[in-house]
């Protein structure tokens, strides 16, 4: 099933918010939630993970009573799906044969809503689940019968939700007992299980059989080499600017994970001896990324809150590339990540990014989280950085100034004087916008407006036309208002 949209109702700062799931220009489904702290990014992610058993720092299952924006209403998360033709055919032939009143001719099964609801006063039932074939052309009785027959089918096809965090169970920071690991790989160490999968041992049986051979020294050395080559290749393919060599030490029935920088002569270190940023990045690469590489990540909504934490800018860019790669295949994966780092904003396609902010709701007097998807055609990286993170830049000033100058010229293409910057400044900024003529031009005082003064300072920096950060911000505000 293809996810079309998700609607969130009455959850914390979210009153009624819908996110559409559109394929981006690079065929991916990876979206960034950009905003400052407390804008509601984490709230949005938690709402999307509503049915995944998510808990808070105290171990309390979410949602809590305080998470209801309006206690008289239920929290609802509504996933709108579209079934493929083959899925509709299976639904009709395998699941609706027992519904005697069903006729294929008067039905429309392509669109279905999966509704997860939580009522404030219903503490015995944590979640209520419903499906709604809202375009079905049938009586209410027949509709109920059809939905009852297809409930399991819809839930089986729906996405799993993973709220990824770099916690201890996703790290190989200590020696791991191989006998315990062989007995239950997933329970003992997910990243080590994925290391074996990268080396071609994907099933628990394959892992058990390979570990059973390590009493022979040649088999032990071969396993170490296989793991080292496969894991090093996977990490280096993604973290291209930071080449490393992963090695595994197997002795006394335990396996240990070591890391060595290829550009350094320092000795190899265990994962817990490395920086927090390194440990977090490798944790991601050996869990979600590795599962995608081994084709074990399917129909999953992956949610990550501030993945850039502890990462230097180059690693943030590499991580963004990998998050995009995860959803470019045909395995129906979707990624949402929340960030307040401009390095995690996709410069190549700004429509990947949503601005998340809070506005005042006049009806209930509370702040409400809203989202705005950037338009690929008109939003630039510099513009988004200013609008989301409140960081004015010379690049954004240049964009605004050029757009206004082009618009000024287009009003009369036959008037060549409109090309001249001094004329543009006089006619548009000073006469049309009534800005003060109080800034210097080529050393002459009181000869141009603030926007032109800043523009000249950007293009021709000298000791006589140095602008301040506040002047840059003010000039940007003036030009934004003029567009």
**Residues 6 or more apart from 256 whose CB is under 8 A from it?**
175, 176, 248, 249, 250, 270
Question: What pLDDT sits at residue 259?
Answer: 86
Between 229 and 96, name the one with better pLDDT: 229
Q: Which of 84-93, 153-162, 234-243 has the lowest mean pLDDT?
A: 234-243
Instruction: Say whether pLDDT at 154 is over 80.
Output: yes
Question: What pLDDT sits at residue 166?
Answer: 74
Between 101 and 461, name the one with better pLDDT: 461
Q: What is the DSSP string of 329-394?
A: SSS--EEEEEE--GGGS-SS-GGGEEEEEEEE-TTTSSEEEEEEEPPTTT--HHHHHHHHH----H
- DSSP 3-state assignment of 117? strand
Question: What pLDDT sits at residue 173?
Answer: 77
Percentage of the chain beyond pLDDT 90 is 63
**Residues 6 or more apart from 440 whose CB is under 8 A from it?**
446, 447, 448, 453, 464, 465
Instruction: Say whether pLDDT at 142 is over 90.
Output: no
| Dist. CA 155–CA 137, nearest whole Å | 22
Phi, psi of 387 (to 5 degrees): -70, -35
Q: Which of 114-128, 183-197, 207-221, 282-296 has the lowest mean pLDDT?
A: 114-128
Query: Chain-wide mean pLDDT for the chain?
Result: 89
Confidence of residue 300 (pLDDT cuts 50, 70, 90): very high
pTM of the complete model: 0.84
Instruction: Say whether pLDDT at 123 is over 60.
Output: no
Question: What pLDDT sits at residue 52?
Answer: 76
Tokens of 254: 């335990």
Instruction: Say whether pLDDT at 124 is over 60.
Output: no
Tokens 């409109």 sit on residue = 418
Instruction: Say whether pLDDT at 329 is over 70.
Output: yes
pLDDT tens digits, one per residue of 432-453: 999 999 999 988 999 999 999 9
| Dist. CA 152–CA 141, nearest whole Å | 19
3-state helix, strand, coil in the chain (%, to 5): 40, 20, 35
| Dist. CA 66–CA 455, nearest whole Å | 50
- DSSP 3-state assignment of 326? helix
Confidence of residue 461 (pLDDT cuts 50, 70, 90): confident
Q: Are 136 and 107 in contact (CB under 8 A)?
A: yes
Confidence of residue 269 (pLDDT cuts 50, 70, 90): low
Instruction: Say whether pLDDT at 268 is over 70.
Output: no
Question: What pLDDT sits at residue 331?
Answer: 92
Question: What pLDDT sits at residue 2?
Answer: 96
Tokens 């060549």 sit on residue = 416
Instruction: Say whether pLDDT at 267 is over 70.
Output: no
Query: Which string of b and e fits 369-395 if b means at least 16 CB within 10 Å?
Result: bbbebbeeeebebbbbbbbbeeebbbe
| Dist. CA 443–CA 34, nearest whole Å | 42
Confidence of residue 92 (pLDDT cuts 50, 70, 90): confident
Q: What is the mean pLDDT of residues 292-309?
A: 92
Confidence of residue 126 (pLDDT cuts 50, 70, 90): low
Q: Are 248 and 227 in contact (CB under 8 A)?
A: yes
Confidence of residue 62 (pLDDT cuts 50, 70, 90): confident
| Dist. CA 77–CA 115, nearest whole Å | 6
Percentage of the chain beyond pLDDT 70 is 95
Question: What pLDDT sits at residue 342?
Answer: 83
Helices (H) and strands (E) in the chain, counts: 16, 17
Give helix 469-482 / helix 450-459 axis angle, nearest 10°.
120
Question: What pLDDT sits at residue 147?
Answer: 92
Question: What pLDDT sits at residue 206?
Answer: 96
Which has the closest alpha carbon to 449: 414, 482, 416? 482
Confidence of residue 57 (pLDDT cuts 50, 70, 90): confident
Question: What pLDDT sits at residue 464?
Answer: 75
Instruction: Say whether pLDDT at 406 is over 90.
Output: yes
CA distances from 15 to 43, 75, 91, 200, 432 (A): 12, 10, 34, 47, 42
Question: What pLDDT sits at residue 64?
Answer: 85
Q: Which of 94-108, 344-358, 390-404 has the lowest mean pLDDT?
A: 94-108
| Dist. CA 3–CA 23, nearest whole Å | 11
Q: What is the mean pLDDT of residues 357-384?
A: 87
Which residues pair with residue 112 across a beta bridge?
A: 81
Q: Which of 162-171, 186-195, 321-330 has the lowest mean pLDDT?
A: 162-171
Confidence of residue 266 (pLDDT cuts 50, 70, 90): low
Strand stretches in 176-243, DSSP E:
176-177
Q: Are 339 and 307 in contact (CB under 8 A)?
A: yes
Question: What pLDDT sits at residue 388?
Answer: 86
């Amino acid at each position: 099933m293809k996810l079309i949209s998700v609607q969130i109702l009455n959850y914390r700062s979210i009153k009624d918010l819908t996110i559409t799931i559109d394929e981006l220009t690079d065929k991916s489904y990876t979206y960034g939630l950009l905003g400052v702290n407390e804008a509601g990014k984490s709230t949005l992610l938690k709402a999307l993970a509503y049915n995944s058993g998510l808990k808070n720092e105290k171990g309390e299952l979410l949602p809590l009573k305080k998470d209801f924006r309006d206690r008289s209403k239920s929290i609802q998360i509504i996933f709108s799906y579209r079934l493929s033709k083959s899925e509709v055919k299976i639904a009709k032939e395998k699941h609706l044969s027992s519904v005697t009143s069903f006729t294929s001719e008067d039905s429309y099964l392509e669109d279905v809503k999966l509704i997860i609801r939580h009522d404030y006063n219903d503490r015995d039932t944590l979640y209520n689940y419903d499906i709604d074939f809202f375009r079905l052309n049938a009586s209410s009785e027949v509709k109920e019968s059809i939905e009852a027959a297809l409930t399991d089918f819809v839930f089986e096809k729906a996405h799993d939700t993973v709220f990824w965090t770099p916690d201890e169970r996703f790290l190989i920071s200590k020696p791991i007992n191989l006998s315990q690991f062989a007995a239950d790989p997933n329970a003992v160490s997910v990243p080590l299980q994925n290391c074996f999968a990268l080396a071609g041992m994907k099933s628990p049986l394959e892992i058990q059989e390979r570990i059973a051979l390590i009493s022979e020294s040649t088999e032990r050395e071969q396993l170490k080499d296989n793991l080292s080559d496969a894991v090093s290749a996977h990490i280096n393919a993604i973290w291209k600017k930071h080449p490393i060599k992963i090695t595994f030490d197997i002795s006394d029935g335990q396996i240990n994970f070591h890391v060595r920088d290829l550009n350094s002569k320092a000795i190899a270190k265990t994962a817990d001896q490395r920086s927090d940023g390194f440990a977090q990045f490798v944790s991601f690469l050996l869990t979600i990324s590795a599962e995608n590489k081994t084709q074990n990540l399917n129909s999953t909504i992956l949610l990550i809150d501030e993945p850039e934490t502890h990462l230097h800018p180059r690693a943030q860019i590499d991580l963004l590339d990998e998050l995009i790669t995860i959803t470019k295949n045909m395995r129906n994966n979707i990624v949402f990540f929340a960030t307040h780092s401009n390095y995690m904003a996709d410069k190549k396609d700004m429509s990947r990014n949503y601005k998340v902010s809070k506005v005042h709701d006049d009806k209930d007097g509370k702040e409400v989280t809203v989202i705005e998807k950037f338009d690929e055609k008109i939003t630039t990286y510099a513009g988004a950085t200013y609008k989301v993170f409140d960081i004015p830049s010379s690049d954004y000033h240049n964009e605004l100034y050029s757009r206004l100058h082009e618009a000024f010229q287009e009003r009369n293409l036959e008037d060549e004087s409109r090309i001249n910057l001094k004329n543009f400044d006089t006619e548009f900024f000073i006469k049309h916008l009534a800005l003060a003529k109080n800034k210097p031009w080529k050393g002459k005082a009181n000869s141009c407006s603030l926007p032109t003064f800043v523009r000249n300072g950007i293009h021709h920096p000298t000791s006589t036309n140095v602008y301040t950060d506040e002047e840059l911000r003010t000039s940007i505000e003036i030009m934004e208002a003029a567009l």
